[in-house]
Amino acid sequence: MLVMELWQLGDLVMATPFLRAAVETFDVTLVCKPFGKDLQPRFWPEVKVIPFLAPWTAFKGKYRLHAWPWREMVRLLGEIHHARFDVALSARGIGIRGDPRDHVLLRLTGARERLGFPSMGSQVFLTRPLKRPDLEAHRVEYWRVLGRSLGLTLPSRKEIPIPQSGPRRELILVHSGAGQPVRVWPLERYRGLAGRLRKNNFPVQVVCDPDQKDWWLAAGENQVAIPQTVTELLELVDRAALFIGNDSGPGHLAAMAGVPTFTLFGPQLPEWFAPLHPESAWMEGKACPYKPCWDECCWRSPLCLENISEDEAWVNIERFVVRQRAMAT
């Protein structure tokens, strides 16, 4: 079986239940971004990972065809053809969007069976076009539909096996980064949140993206962590009892690693992208007529996030932290 999951960290993490079920029946090869190599030993060690940065997954400049890695793409397709896969599939198709680009790539693999959720006529590239789940369905439900079509049994979202946090953990990770600026709650509010947690005797480790480092250092956060790889991020997660952050890949990673998360959502919808830990909680971004906007905000700044005040967030986060501490004792 060949699995295409070419998108971001959170998307790949949410493929975990499917991959774990698939290896019980198939020899599974996964084509994904290079950070899949960091995830593979921990989450699906039986899966073979082929790293590939698909140019159409870039947020900007994705159709500068002269800059595409054509030689690498030809090499990748040659390697896949040589393997002679029986089944190739993609779960892309959340909300109203499918991904014909994935389906063209599936067709070029030469796989005998090709499964996916068609969009804009892309069913011509698939041998088994599948009906999407309900519009409100969580991302993981797309993987469940794929699994059922192949005779695989995947657990429901509430029954996905999640490891328990290690004993005596108390550290709270406050992660201020995200894949796109429109998903970032204002940094000064994260600073205020970290201060409130510390005043209430909760140990805090602030984690940020590289482009946020100077802001945090200027704000006096001298021990801010800036993981450079997913492996380094996992090392931080493994020390934590709780994770607080934006709608982003690190939150999904923490949840799958067994850490309850609190997510501040902005332009996207929790019913689609809530982390999979059963104890995770969230705040939904404020109302906007353009939601979900797929990170292409119509305003100068993301009002859905900026209109969540620090006081409002603290009421919900304090409740989450206190409840999780009580459950751990």
Which has more pLDDT, 320 or 72?
320
Sign of the four-CA dihedral 310, 278, 11, 225: positive
Per cent of the chain over pLDDT 70 is 96
Distance from C-alpha of 22 to C-alpha of 20, rounded to nearest angstrom:
6
Residue 94 in this model has a pLDDT that exceeds 90: no
Task: Report if residue 221 sits inside a domain.
Answer: yes
Task: Report if residue 303 sits inside a domain.
Answer: yes
Same-domain status, 15 and 122? yes
Domain boundary among 122, 139, 159: 159
Segment 180-203 mean pLDDT: 96
- 197 lies in which domain range? 171-328
Per cent of the chain over pLDDT 90 is 71
Say which CATH number the domain at 70 has.
3.40.50.2000
Same-domain status, 22 and 86? yes
Residue 328 in this model has a pLDDT that exceeds 90: no
Task: Report if residue 164 sits inside a domain.
Answer: no
Segment 126-140 mean pLDDT: 90
Same-domain status, 228 and 119? no
Same-domain status, 7 and 134? yes
Segment 24-35 mean pLDDT: 97
Same-domain status, 208 and 178? yes
Task: Report if residue 123 sits inside a domain.
Answer: yes
Q: DSSP string spanning 19-70?
A: HHHHTTTS--EEEE-TTHHHHHHHH-TTSEEEE---GGGSSSSTT-GGGS-H
Q: What is the count of structural domains for the chain?
A: 2
Asked whether the whole model's pTM tops 0.85, one would answer: yes
Three-state DSSP class for residue 3: strand
Same-domain status, 98 and 177? no
Structure tokens at 53: 């940065």
pLDDT band at residue 326 using 50, 70 and 90 as cut-offs: confident
Same-domain status, 237 and 112? no
* CA neighbours closer than 13 Å in the CB half-sphere of residue 145: 22
Structure tokens at 154: 């995947």
Same-domain status, 6 and 91? yes
Per residue in 37-77, pLDDT tens? 999 999 999 999 999 998 877 767 676 877 788 888 889 88
